Chain A
Amino acid sequence: MATDSGISSLQLPCVFSPKSRQYLALCAQDGRLRIWNTDSKTLHQEFVPSAHLSATCTCIAWGPCRTVKEGPQRKKRKSEAVQVEEKADLLAMGTAAGSVLIYSTVKGALHCTLDGGHSGGVNCVQWHPEDSLLYSGSDDTNIAEWDLQTGKTRSKWKADRAAVTSLCVSPDGKLLLSAGQTIKMWDLDTKEVYRKFTGHSTAVTTLCFATTRPPDSNGLYFLSGAAHDRLLSVWQVREDGKDKNSVVSFTLTDEPQHIDLVASNSKEEAVRLAVVCKDGQLHLFEHFLNGPCKKPLSPSCTVQMSDTKESPMPIPLLAAALGANTRTVLLAYGNHLQPVMEKVEINTAERHVCLTRDVQTSLSLSMETTVSKVKTPIVKANCRVLVPGLPGHQAPVKGTSQGSEKRKKDTDTKEMSIAERLGEIDLSTVSIEKGAPKGTASLQTDNFAVLLVQGLESNDASILNKVFQTRKEMVIKKTVARLPLPAVLPLVEELTKRLQGHPFTAVLMVRWLKAVLMHHTSYLASLPDLVTKLGVLYHMIESRVKMFHKLTKLHGKLYLLTTQVATNDSSNTVSDVDHTAKLVYEEESSDEDEASGDEGLPDVDSDVSKTG
């Protein structure tokens, strides 16, 4: 039986670079790190850690901005980048294996690997705002402090009885928040517990300081959010130590996935908060942090996104970053493999905003420019591709060198759409069927036997539709050939039902029926009550073909007339030859307008691809 374990581990890390928000670092299901440029909306870099499938990246943190030496070739290409002194460069990635990788976006390569600090998976990494220090919290209940100059741990201490799930360094760099069973605030100089906060029953996934003021004036606030929890709690660090309960809570529609916050520097300034929930909605809050507030606060504005189809489907938002003024928000949405970034002006006067975007077109637009900046992974010939335990992971299970070559080629050139890939797979199976002898077992499925049996057993219309829509003769034959005998009669019954329909769809069913009769002749003939079993089918067919003669005649008549019309047209309007020809072609390809078809206006014609 399925349980909910492992769902929370599916949260994919997704972080905007600090200050300029120029880059979005995102680690997708396939274990690769992709860095997207939010200005040009293109893929800036792609990095595949050598053990990206066995030790998946669990968390990402951008290092503080620092001045960097520009490489000569980069200088040429981006002349404007020279003016920007500070640039987000280093990126720390914690992995499930317990190591921390430091990646440099300027070099476009791995800067260094911090190993040997943790015995369990790393849950969170945080940079110190000024010194070149890095903090990481792990499943082994420890917090490690890394010195990046030496690449070694400077200190390591046991922080909690349970795994450390989240960390946050205060803006002044003196305090550290950690969350395990309880939330603890550490003094970074002495490494001693300064405060303790209890409140969440599930793992805390989010910690964030909300104010920048020093802690001695009752004005230090921070936020926390937990798994399976639809509240963000705000805690006040008070001088007198009476800070047992959270002072404010923000209500959400689902557990928080990504939060962005503009901290307040004074009492007169409101804290602005953007929270992207797991259900793909964005909630904007604005609140003055001045002491406790009993009621949970609801968002000042909720943003959703949907596509432009007739029956709109929601597009999940992945991350949001607040802009300089109150109304602009930088959004990332779509799927993790190919997110779309967009700066949006949001009318915060309305409580609910629904944006509609055509993801299909925006995707293809961004794809055209994603050339040559992609870093190709170095795949050794003897490397083995592991299939991770992540659900929904679609790695090609091919251990051959041919497969890795193919992948390299894919990443080199522009990425193919899913439809193209599917088409390619289909082609390859067909060529295998034709070319190679039958003995070679390919991993691709070439029949629907299991699916069909399942569909017949549970009478599931969606499964059956999917199976019966195949047009490939080979697939039909193989499916029927591998069908277990008890499923044959239910299949015939189902086909009988479907044969009564419109000729466009029923033609496909005839192929199935023929395949059944051919492959299972002996079984069917051995049935004692064959006549009663197939009698309905026989009668149905007989009554249908009764009009065959007349219909054929009518068709002949019609054919003669229409061809005459066509020749008349073309002879009458010689100057306009190609136009008429085009029109006729269009008409031939238009079909499938049934009883509801009204007066035959051209716009009701739907194109259904014809196959023989």
Chain B
Amino acid sequence: MASFKPTKIPVYPKLGEKVTQDTLYWKNYKAPVQIKEFGAITNIDFSPVTPHNFAVTAFTRIHIYGPSSQEPVKTFTRFKDTAYCGRFRSDGQLLVAGCEDSVVRLFDVSGKVALRMFRGHTKAVHVTDFTSDRYQILTGSDDYTCRLWDIPNATDLNVYQEHTDYIRCGVTSKLNRDLFITGSYDHTLKVFDARVDKSVMTMDHGQPVESLLLYPSEGLLVSAGGRYVKVWDLLKGGQPLVSLRNHHKTVTCLALSSNGQRLLSASLDRHVKVYSTTNYKAVHNFDYAASILSLALAPDDQSIVVGMTNSMLSIKHRKSPEESREISGQQRRRPSYRVFVKGKNYIPKQDDYLVSKPVKQYLAKYDKQLKKFNVSKALDCALEKWIRLRNPEVPLAVMKELDRRGTLKNALAGRDEQQLSRLLSFLIGNLVDVRFAPVLVVAAEMILDIYRSILGQSPVIDRQLLRMQELLEREIDYQKELVEVLGMLDTMFASSLPKMEVPCSSVSRSNGLSQGEASTSRPQPQVT
């Protein structure tokens, strides 16, 4: 005797955004911690040594936060005016910061008073950084100059006056102690070598440069300014590689994920975009509440810290492995895999007597009813509320199966007001869906045939029918317009090609609609 075949539930492709590895990775952060600072947050820098504290420069203060604390563990307040660009040295011991009053201050992370004050600039200093040998400081100022300072005796070693506008960003090489790069509002990036007195390379960004980033390998340089993010190849003499335009307002900040595979850019348009560094396509997007001025990633991407113009600091921590697993906790209640595997791998020896046990077939509720030929009940089971809402393809498959057996009419007939209205609301919800329409239209016609005589007796049913009618009216109007568009497209294709042909090559690239349609169109001959 042939065993009962359970109803096959077709799998339809999901519409909408595709879930990629990147979205999973970047969504795996907890709800952000929001901290109110005293003014716009212009810079965030992570300490290179564990516990990876980070310095937040906002208004006249620099706060240092611990990796998990929501209160600053340390505060530097000895600034006469707005502070800028608080950065750690590579050993995490010293912190340097510029100020609106043109004095650069060097702090011991454990102290409170500035260890050194570097005076010499005549205007606000927006850029500060340590060189890789740890004994010198690079600064860039609004007086168009950048300087190198000696830390021990607080004197300037060299002054570079090549830029013709404010210098607002700069980085030092981590590999070579003499190399540094500055970006200015005069649209240029200049690579300087401390061993010679002038710049060794100049690149034109085309917009006032707001932020710079060196790849760890230091072969590539990323610059942000205006709405553009540009990548330059330093080894090829500053050749532009890529120009990205994914923001609609000025890009203010750049960051690189820990493995160097993803580039992040933050902008005044309140977005943070994540790009893949292999093909420079945007792979993810974060939205924030206000314009973003600063962005930093903790080592290993443990947290994303974003500073905004409305003086809010937003810290997102990565979920720990236990927390991210808790989401799929429901499956864990089953017995472990080992229980099922036990003895499975045993290969029967020659004189073993083999007893084969039939595999028990578990049937879904509607299949059990189908097996007993309770067609109405099977349909009822499939139309349970949570099934109907969550996977509408189940009731659909049951309907299709009933139709194949020729008993759909019986299943639909003989229902009271409540059951009928449930059916109708399912129809209304899914009738216009391309994937479901072929089956549902048949069912709808049957319902109308069966219940034609009792129409007008129940206001609920009448209302639903009216709604269905309106829905169909809209859909038909819509499809009419679509047909017109189709005609336009045909003309267009015809004019561009010698002979019109249906573009088959793109089927595989389409988002699965054509496959879905293929599977739904198969039962059509049986239906009619």
Contacts and interface: CB of A to CB of B under 8 A. Distances in A.
B242 interface: no
B470 to A, nearest CB: 6
A507 B455 contact: no
A587 B468 CA distance: 11
B210 interface: yes
B40 interface: yes
A1 B210 contact: yes
Contacts of A525: 492, 495-496
Among B293, B480, B485, B493, chain A packs the most CB atoms within 10 A around the CB of B485
B112 interface: no
B507 A539 contact: yes
Given A531-B503, A600-B463, A594 B485 contact: no
Contact of A597 (B77, B247, B418, B425): B425
B181 interface: no
A347 interface: no
A214 interface: no
Contacts of B460: 599-601
A4 B311 contact: yes
B258 interface: no
Contacts of A242: none
Nearest to B417: A599
A557 B477 contact: no
Nearest to B480: A548
Contact of B478 (A507, A514, A558): A507
Interface string A497-539: 0011011101100100110011001001111001110111111
Given A201-B60, A510-B481, A531-B497, A569 B466 contact: no
B428 A457 contact: no
Interface residues of A, number: 80
Given A2-B293, A558-B472, A596-B389, A535 B510 contact: yes
Contacts of A524: 492
Contact of B40 (A3, A514, A596): A3
Contact of A460 (B59, B248, B430, B495): B248
A551 B273 CA distance: 43
Contact of A521 (B38, B293, B492): B492
Given A2-B268, A532-B503, A565-B455, A558 B465 contact: yes
B421 interface: yes
Interface of B: 15, 36, 38-40, 42, 59-60, 77, 82, 168, 210, 227, 245-250, 252, 267-269, 271, 273, 282, 285, 291, 293, 309, 311, 385, 389, 392, 418, 421-422, 424-426, 428-430, 432, 434, 437-438, 441, 444-445, 448, 452, 455-456, 459-460, 462-486, 488-489, 492-493, 495-497, 501-503, 505-507, 509-511, 513-514, 517, 521
Given A228-B38, A555-B472, 14 more contacts: A4-B309, A201-B77, A503-B478, A517-B488, A531-B506, A532-B503, A536-B510, A543-B514, A548-B483, A554-B445, A558-B465, A562-B462, A593-B428, A596-B389
In the A-B complex, the 9 residue pairs with the smallest Cβ-Cβ separation, listed nearest first, are A535-B506, A595-B429, A454-B248, A535-B503, A4-B39, A555-B472, A565-B456, A503-B478, A543-B517
Interface of A: 1-4, 201, 228, 254, 453-455, 457-460, 463, 499-500, 502-504, 506-507, 510, 513-514, 517-518, 521, 524-527, 530-532, 534-548, 550-552, 554-555, 557-559, 561-562, 564-565, 568-569, 583-584, 587-588, 590-591, 593-602
9 contacts: A458-B267, A463-B248, A500-B15, A510-B482, A547-B437, A587-B466, A588-B466, A596-B389, A601-B460
